[in-house]
Amino acid sequence: MPIERGKIREFAAATGATDPAYQTANPPVPPTFMATSMHWEPHDPPLSTLLGLNLSRVLQGGQEYTFIGALPQAGDCLRAETSVESVTEKRSSRGGAMTVIVVLTRFTRPDGSVAAEGRATVIERAAS
């Protein structure tokens, strides 16, 4: 996942981030920029297919990022590896079962050190 200065600037503008740091020669990434990694992931087959999800019943339950050390910046190239961290079943307030999946994406630098981790919570509602 190459981190490009122009993409950082575009992302900052699109999300309303006004910090002048995003306009410098080597800007740091805005905190949610790591979500753009999905554009670098292989799409054959998509993660939803691998997990057997019915997309008509899927909700986004949340997204969070943790950065380790210096923020990635323009010119960096990170490797993103995605795995399933946990799968749990819960009862909804309406009495149906829900499957809650936490997907972990770990972003590593060329030296192997971890630059960031992203966790996405995906909720699949029970069939009606």
- pLDDT of the chain, 128 residues: tens digit per residue: 889 999 999 999 999 999 999 999 999 999 889 988 877 766 678 778 888 889 999 999 999 999 999 999 999 999 999 899 999 999 877 778 899 999 999 999 999 999 999 999 999 998 86
Pairing of strands 114-125, 58-67: antiparallel
85's enclosing H/E stretch is strand 79-91
CA 95/CA 93 separation, integer angstroms: 5
CA 40/CA 33 separation, integer angstroms: 13
Sequence spans of domains, the chain: 2-124
Give every CB contact of residue 32 below 8 A, 6+ residues apart in sequence. 15, 63, 65
Res 57: pLDDT: 92
Q: Which of 104, 112, 107, 39 is nearest to 78 (CA)?
A: 107
Side-chain-facing half-sphere of 93: CA atoms under 13 Å: 0
Res 42: pLDDT: 65
Which CATH architecture best describes the domain 2-124? Roll (3.10)
